Chains A and B, each alone.
Chain A
Amino acid sequence: MLSLWVTPPDVGSGAVHAALLVDSAVLLLEQEIRDGSERYQGLQELFPAAARMQRAAADLCGVRADAPDQRPWLRHTAWTSDEAPLARAPTSGPESGSAVDDYSFVRVAGDGVHEIPVGPVHAGIIEPGHFRFSVVGEKVLRLEERLGYVHKGVERRFTELDPLEGHRLAARICGDSTVAYSWAYCQALEALAGLQVPVRATWLRGICLEVERLQNHLGDLGALGNDAGFAFGLAQFSRLKEELLRVTESVFGQRYLMDVVVPGGVAIDPSADVIARLSSVLRDIAARVRLLRDIYDDHSGIRDRFAGAGVVTPELARQLGLTGLAGRASLQLRDLRADAPWSPYHALTPTPCIRREGDVAARVAVRFDEVAESSRLTRAFLSDLPDGPVTAPLALPREPRLAIGLIEGWRGPVLVALEITAAGRIRRCHVHDPSWQNWPALEHAIISNIVPDFPLINKSFNLSYSGHDL
């Protein structure tokens, strides 16, 4: 399952949409909704990940699913339960909600069981999320997450924008996946317009996506070492990441590649000599990552912390629909770049990096494998970069339409569903981060582990708060 969202029935008809990935094609299911009070059949029994998406849709659009869990998900106290920001403008200000957020967590009873509430304000500078642990001693019996603290009303903001401007907002949804988001948005837009993007532009986009993957993997590998108390790893990987960021800036004019992908192509056409420099830096980084991998693999303390921590078995991963990088560490053979290649991945297809153990060590190993694979792939893109224009003019059709953009970002598949009106405005733009599928899996991964291992397990997933809360 890829995503589930609702178009509220404000003007004309609304619908519940569910996007499923069947083999290498996207299957889009749609059920019409005429009236906001109408209920639809929930999908939580087939796809457990759907439960939270349905709760979020109820908060945003006021359309409820037939499901046992009717608690709010994205709504805290900023608006009341009978308001729906996407269906109609909020009638009152933020102070209308109740001052106290009385979210009912599931209680675990028993001898010696107690709760540890963590967050949303943490001791370090990280994004806000609340984690409620039920523990006996140091052993975790149950973890319940509470997210939505960084809800910013992105999907409503989309409806106020010109479709040709929307990629700028999409690029800012989740800073670490800016290429994936803006590309997914542009892909949807280009599908609406029926535009064929110039080949050179798609190759450059592919390079950007792989560079983004490398940046994030390098950062995560260092942070994972640090969370295991091995600060040497953090220092080394931070240095490599910084080198990559600097060369990225010299090629694309941006350290984090925001707004490089634009509707119809890319914003920057790098010259041949900076491309050669990127290629040589990538080769250098890949070689040094191999050395660091040996250090990580040989270090008994690191191995002891990584191996066997936070296991998601392949069976559980299949049940929960674990996706992206975390899925590949649990034998879920899914990588859209290889399964359903789009340009430029038709020409050069990456080999998916798969592990079956599903523990922190497996997620680290997949990252190491992908660093090697991505740097190989990027250098192949760079050496065969076709010539030609990098943008094409784009004109939107004057009829209501829906299109999907789907990109395998570093965390997993990023989906953008873009619906436009006959007047050429955005009616609904749903943005879906792979974290939706993987946050619930984290609750399972921590069970029977000890409390102090949670930060490490959490970091090995490294899920998005911002992309999830929207």
Chain B
Amino acid sequence: MTPLSAATQLLEVVSATLAAPIFLGWVNQCRAWLQNRTAPSVLQPYYGLRKLLHKDAVLAENASPLFRAAPYVVFGTMVVAAAIIPSMGTGLPMSAAADGIALVGLLATARVFLSLAAMDVGTAFGSLGARREMMVGFLAEPALLMILFVAALISGTTSLPLIAEGLSSHALGLYPSLAFTAVAFVLVLLAENARIPIDNPSTHLELTMIHEAMLLEYSARHLALMEWAAALKLFNYACIGFALFVPWGAGNEAAGPLGLLLAVPLLALKLIVAGAVLALIETLSAKLRVFRAPEFLATAFLLAVLGLLVHLLLGA
């Protein structure tokens, strides 16, 4: 481990954790603008977190230790995930410990804990949300794996930093197979992060909720951690997308400290564009009926498989 790689690693984890709420705030701001509304500040998610951290936590009487532990586990897994996704630099000491497949497993761990905690208290909405979350999850995970496989086959490794490095070294070499998987990835990102058209993050209708329904029983610091984790998850997904489809600009060992310094504004630029596109997609679509979600994710899986076939058959 060189000092530079250590610095990269530290910078990535800290900045992802701290910047994730701003990214969410930016998406919300774009959404408001697109709806002709006056937008809240980009810092609004922080204000929300600060408010929640100042409150006293209220727990259901029958809540088990699992219910208390889940927010820390979910938040923790998201921070670890941020450590192995090459957002600013590819020389990540942590990434030797976990590859892309482990990353999918890590995200699944968070999902399992979230769902178990939701069912723990035994309210109708918690189990309703957990049930729907699992339905979305078991369809989204294979699609995400398939997307990673395409990229892994092209670059001959499952390690995310190496994939990013391999793909970015091809300068402007465009892969048709990656075009298919990029579309599939956007669909998975929408579904996994409880965005429209699968879920509606701003709804107050408890019967239609997926992600929010699982958080109904949480309050104060627990809720703050859960919401922060959700923001971090969105940030992580965006960074996975960058690593796979627009890897140019992430600093590597060869580029030295200057490369890392350049990577920061470049990442910010990518996030700004990605957030605006995400808001545009959300504004243009209405929420799907819950039973359309399998079709939606099947489309994502199909596109990823097409990408794989294009790569295997045409070698492109």
List residues of A whose CB falls within 8 A of some B CB.
Answer: 115-118, 122-125, 138, 225, 227-232, 234-236, 239, 299, 301-302, 304-305, 450-455
* Cβ-defined partner of A123 (8 Å) among B128, B205, B289: B205
- B212 contacts across to A, CB distance below 8 A: 123
Name B178-216 residues within 8 Å CB distance of A.
196-197, 200, 202-209, 212, 216
Question: Once the chains bind, are B286 and A123 in contact (CB under 8 Å)?
Answer: no
> Is A232 touching B283 in the complex (CB atoms < 8 A)?
yes
- Whether the Cβ atoms of B205 and A227 lie closer than 8 Å is yes
Say whether A236 contacts B36, CB under 8 Å: yes
Contact of A232 among B35, B124, B197 (CB under 8 A): B35
Judge whether A231 and B208 touch: CB under 8 Å.
Answer: no
Apart from A230-B285, A231-B31, 7 more pairs, CB < 8 Å: A116-B125, A124-B205, A228-B287, A229-B197, A232-B34, A301-B286, A302-B286
Interface of B is mostly: loop
Contact status of A455 and B124, CB under 8 A, knowing A232-B34, A236-B36: no
Q: List residues 128-179 of chain B with CB under 8 A from any CB of chain A.
A: 128
Indicate which residue in A239, A301, A455 contacts B208 across the interface (CB closer than 8 Å).
A455
Bound-state Cα–Cα, A302 to B37, Å? 21
Q: Does B269 contact A (CB under 8 A)?
A: no
Cβ contact of B206, chosen from A123, A225, A228, A304, cutoff 8 A: A123
- Nearest chain A residue, comparing its CB with the CB of B290: A452
Chain A contacts for B196, CB-based, 8 A: 229
Q: Are B289 and A450 in contact (CB under 8 A)?
A: yes
Assess the A118–B206 pair: CB atoms within 8 A: yes
B288 at the interface (CB under 8 A from A): yes
User: Roughly how many angstroms separate A231 CA and B33 CA in the complex, as a whole number?
Assistant: 12
7 interchain residue pairs of minimum CB distance: A229-B287, A124-B204, A301-B286, A235-B35, A455-B205, A230-B286, A452-B208
A303 vs chain B, min Cβ distance (A):
9
7 A-B pairs whose Cβ atoms sit less than 8 Å apart in the complex: A116-B207, A123-B205, A123-B206, A227-B208, A229-B285, A235-B37, A304-B292
Closest to B205 in A: A455
Contact between B285 and A138, CB atoms less than 8 A apart: no
Given A231-B202, A235-B37, A239-B36: A138 and B207 within 8 A (CB)?
no
Residues on B with C-beta less than 8 A from A239 are 36
Q: Is the beta-carbon distance between A138 and B291 smaller than 8 angstroms?
A: yes
CB B51 to nearest CB in A, in angstroms, measures 18
Report if A452-B204 is in contact (Cβ < 8 Å); known contacts: A123-B216, A232-B35, A235-B37: no
Chain A interface helix/strand/loop/mixed: helix
Asked if A305 and B35 make an inter-chain contact with CB atoms under 8 angstroms apart, the answer reads no
Chain B residues with Cβ below 8 Å from A117 are 124
Q: Among B206, B212, B283, B286, find the residue whose CB has the most chain A CB atoms closer than 10 A.
A: B286
Centre residue among A124, A302, A452 by max chain B CB count within 10 A: A452
Q: Are the CB atoms of A451 and B31 closer together than 8 Å?
A: no
Residues of B within 8 A of A (CB): 31, 34-37, 124-125, 128, 196-197, 200, 202-209, 212, 216, 283, 285-292
What distance in Å separates the Cβ of B198 from its nearest Cβ neighbour in chain A?
10
Contacts of A123 in B (CB 8 A): 204-206, 209, 212, 216
**Which residues of chain B are within 8 angstroms of A236 by Cβ–Cβ distance?**
36
**What A residues does B197 contact at CB under 8 A?**
229, 301
Do A118 and B207 form a contact, CB below 8 Å, given A229-B200, A231-B31? Answer: yes
Closest A residue to B37 by CB, please name it: A235
CB contacts (< 8 Å) of A228 on chain B: these are 286-287
User: Shortest distance in angstroms between A334's beta carbon and chain B's nearest beta carbon?
Assistant: 31
Which chain B residues border A301 with CB–CB below 8 Å?
197, 285-288
Asked if A138 and B36 make an inter-chain contact with CB atoms under 8 angstroms apart, the answer reads no
Q: How far is the CA of A118 from the CA of B208 in the complex (A)?
A: 12
Please measure, in the bound complex, the distance between the C-alpha atom of A312 and the C-alpha atom of B255, giving whole angstroms. 67
Q: How far is it, in angstroms, between the C-alpha of A452 and the C-alpha of B216 when the chains are bound?
A: 16
User: Judging by beta carbons under 8 Å apart, are B207 and A304 in contact?
Assistant: no
Nearest-CB residue, chain A, relative to B35: A235
A193, B18: Cα distance in complex, Å: 73
Which residues of the partner chain B approach A455 to less than 8 Å between Cβ atoms?
Answer: 205, 207-208
Shortest distance between the CB of B29 and any CB in chain A (Å) = 14
Question: Bound state CA distance, A232 and B36, in angstroms?
Answer: 8
Closest CB in chain B relative to A295 CB, distance in Å: 11
Within 8 Å CB of A230, what residues of B?
Answer: 285-287
The smallest beta-carbon distance between A266 and chain B, in angstroms, is 36
Measured CB to CB, the closest approach of chain A to B50, in angstroms, equals 22
Residue pair A452, B124 in contact (C-beta under 8 Å): no
Residue of A nearest to B36 (CB): A235
Shortest Cβ distance from B140 into chain A, in angstroms? 18
In whole Å, how far is A427's beta carbon from the nearest beta carbon of chain B? 43
Complex CA gap A222/B125 in Å reads: 26
